[in-house]
Chain A
Amino acid sequence: MSAITLDHITKTYNKGAVLAVDDVSFSVEKGEIFGMIGPDGAGKSTIFRLLTTLLLPDKGTANIGGYDVVKDFKAIRGILGYMPGKFSLYQDLTVEENLEFFATVFDTTIEQNYELIKDIYVQLEPFKDRRAGKLSGGMKQKLALCCALIHKPEILFLDEPTTGVDVVSRKEFWDMLKRYKKQGITILVSTSYMDEATLCDRIGLILGGKMLSIASPEDTIKAYPQKLYALKSSSMYRLLTDLRGFEGTANCYTFGEYLHLYIKCSEEELKKFIGDKGYSDLELKVITPTVEDCFIRLLKERDERRSSDQNK
């Protein structure tokens, strides 16, 4: 049996004026790390709130650990841990008081499940008497994860848990998630860092309230439909402006020290265009796309559809 199942879930706001989640169905297996990737306003947080029984769906059904999100909400709240996108612990309680509070609410103690949070909590311990509101971003995130785990949930919901967190702490965080996965905990996570998407077992790309594709990161990349080029020169801004002005360009965007490009002309035409511009130190190569490239391509297509709709 799947740990999480959504069956044709729809949710609107403002009496139907805003369609936040549009007929979404998918399931997450026990012990899987499933990543939801999508732009701001795609509906990710609404899905989290529906699954954590904080919102009622307009249509459709959803199951968490075999329980129905509407009928059995009380049972579900006992088996899930939730880290909302916005820091939601008690700012005026200390680190230790917050943790004790959540343990007590779930009818357990810190000692009882200490093993599960030990690795994170040792880093928090020097600050255990500090008020939660006075912690840095990285520490708040660690405390929120501890509080979400203190009752030993079967399923973890993490809504952008690493936003504002530096790259070293993010790596530690994901190492931790891998350990929880090994213990059989199912994890549904959203992120705006595409390097984290590749660490999930499967990722769902979500756009405008619809789930567009669900696949492993490897298969998501394999499905990329055409050649992707990476280019570099000593004058990157000029190169970007030139390529964006080229009629054979389908899309050109920055990607770290390179530009990434896909085209709607032939490779010869591209090479001729660049050749005529006279770059002395140009590097051009064909590369394997990343999940980020897949994501950008999807959004570019959406924007083009939007502007062609408006021109109609």
Chain B
Amino acid sequence: MSDEVVIKTNKLTKRFGDFVAVDAITFDVHKGEIFGFLGANGAGKTTAMRMLCGLSIPTSGEAKVAGFDVFSQPEEIKKNIGYMSQKFSLYEDLTVLENIEFYGGIYGLSNKEIKDKSGELTEKLGLKHEAKQLVKSLPLGWKQKLSFLVAIVHQPKIVFLDEPTGGVDPYMRREFWDLIYDAADKGITIFVTTHYLDEAEYCNRVTIMVDGKVDALDSPKGLREKFGVATIDEVFYKLAREAKRSAD
């Protein structure tokens, strides 16, 4: 992890009518950092993430992602990041290889790069035998691992992961995190949300969003000490219990 800042937000806000979904959040994320973005359902995590990905224009405030402005340069942001949405986003009716080729093409990789990548990714996933199978025939954990590797197929500076391990079993979740560690080690910044609080411990820093605001931001150890509790679960309980907004 370096001192280089790759995400910088200042009072970033999103309103939908009277409703303040994201309320003046301010934080920095560093290059190569694994940044955990926690919060209850409806706290505003997905909305915040969509603004940082250039998919939703903020109402007010400032944010720069990979050096580009979220208001004026959303297209540049999209080229420099990877995004794995909560909803499974590969093409179920294409094979493993076809999905890699498709996304490689979208991100402007050359044919040779795509060919090399296809070999590398199927090898890394242990999916060599399944390379020509339709993605819909794979178990969920494999799909999620493939989605992640496809989201970083163009070597982005940052990858945004919105609940990548939801519904994935504990064994496969750890294999997924091995891929995250590997990517972070290569300098890709990881911005990740999760409801599995053991995974919060695997992040360099964690923030817990409550009612659209960023409340606590520290290393997992720092948070535990600050709140005087033994686990991140308890930190989460303390903060989320005070939430006024219901998870609508």
Q: In the complex, which of the residues B140, B195, B236 has the most CB atoms of chain A within 10 Å of its own CB atom?
A: B195
Asked if A138 is at the interface (CB within 8 A of a chain B CB), the reply is: yes
Q: In which size bucket is the chain B interface?
A: 35 or more
Asked if B231 is at the interface (CB within 8 A of a chain A CB), the reply is: yes
**Which DSSP category, helix, strand, loop or mixed, fits chain A's interface?**
mixed
Which B residues are in CB contact (< 8 Å) with A160? 167
Which A residues are in CB contact (< 8 Å) with B233? 167
**Structural contact, B171 and A295, CB atoms closer than 8 A:** yes
Asked if A123 is at the interface (CB within 8 A of a chain B CB), the reply is: yes
Closest to B198 in A: A256
Partner of A40 from the list B168, B195, B231, B248 (CB cut-off 8 Å) is B168
Number of A-B contacts (CB under 8 A): 100
Docked CA distance A169–B236 (Å): 12
**Structural contact, B221 and A292, CB atoms closer than 8 A:** no
Stretch at the interface among B35-43, B60-68, B70-78, B147-155: B35-43
Instruction: Return A7 CB to nearest CB of chain B, in Å.
Output: 27
**Structural contact, A136 and B231, CB atoms closer than 8 A:** no
**Structural contact, A39 and B141, CB atoms closer than 8 A:** yes
How many residues of chain A get a CB closer than 8 Å to chain B's CBs?
37
Which A residues are in CB contact (< 8 Å) with B229? none
Which A residues are in CB contact (< 8 Å) with B15? none
Asked if B246 is at the interface (CB within 8 A of a chain A CB), the reply is: yes
1/0 contact trace for B189-203 toward A, CB 8 Å?
000000111100110
Which A residues are in CB contact (< 8 Å) with B198? 254-256
Partner of B170 from the list A135, A139, A167, A192 (CB cut-off 8 Å) is A192
Which A residues are in CB contact (< 8 Å) with B170? 192, 194, 292, 295-296
Which A residues are in CB contact (< 8 Å) with B39? 166
Asked if B112 is at the interface (CB within 8 A of a chain A CB), the reply is: no
Docked CA distance A126–B139 (Å): 37
Docked CA distance A23–B193 (Å): 39
Instruction: Return B109 CB to nearest CB of chain A, in Å.
Output: 29
| Known contacts A39-B141, A167-B197; is-contact A138 B167 (Cβ 8 Å) | no
**Structural contact, A164 and B248, CB atoms closer than 8 A:** no
1/0 contact trace for A33-65 toward B, CB 8 Å?
000001111000000000000000000000000
Instruction: Return B31 CB to nearest CB of chain A, in Å.
Output: 17
Partner of A39 from the list B86, B172, B181, B220 (CB cut-off 8 Å) is B172
Docked CA distance A62–B142 (Å): 32
Partner of B163 from the list A139, A164, A253, A299 (CB cut-off 8 Å) is A164
| Known contacts A136-B41, A138-B42, A139-B247; is-contact A166 B195 (Cβ 8 Å) | yes
Which B residues are in CB contact (< 8 Å) with A255? 198
**Structural contact, B42 and A192, CB atoms closer than 8 A:** no
**Structural contact, A138 and B41, CB atoms closer than 8 A:** yes
Partner of B237 from the list A38, A39, A138, A168 (CB cut-off 8 Å) is A168
A residues whose Cβ falls under 8 Å from a Cβ of B: 38-41, 85, 123, 126-127, 130, 135-139, 160, 163-170, 192-194, 237, 253-257, 292, 295-296, 299-300
> What are 30 sample pairs from A and B whose C-beta atoms fall under 8 A apart?
A39-B172, A40-B139, A40-B167, A40-B172, A126-B248, A136-B41, A138-B247, A139-B247, A164-B163, A164-B195, A166-B39, A166-B195, A167-B237, A168-B240, A169-B40, A169-B247, A170-B195, A192-B170, A237-B181, A254-B198, A254-B201, A256-B201, A256-B231, A257-B201, A295-B169, A295-B170, A295-B171, A296-B171, A296-B174, A299-B171
B residues whose Cβ falls under 8 Å from a Cβ of A: 39-42, 86, 139-142, 163, 166-172, 174, 177, 181, 195-198, 201-202, 220-221, 231-233, 236-237, 240-241, 246-248
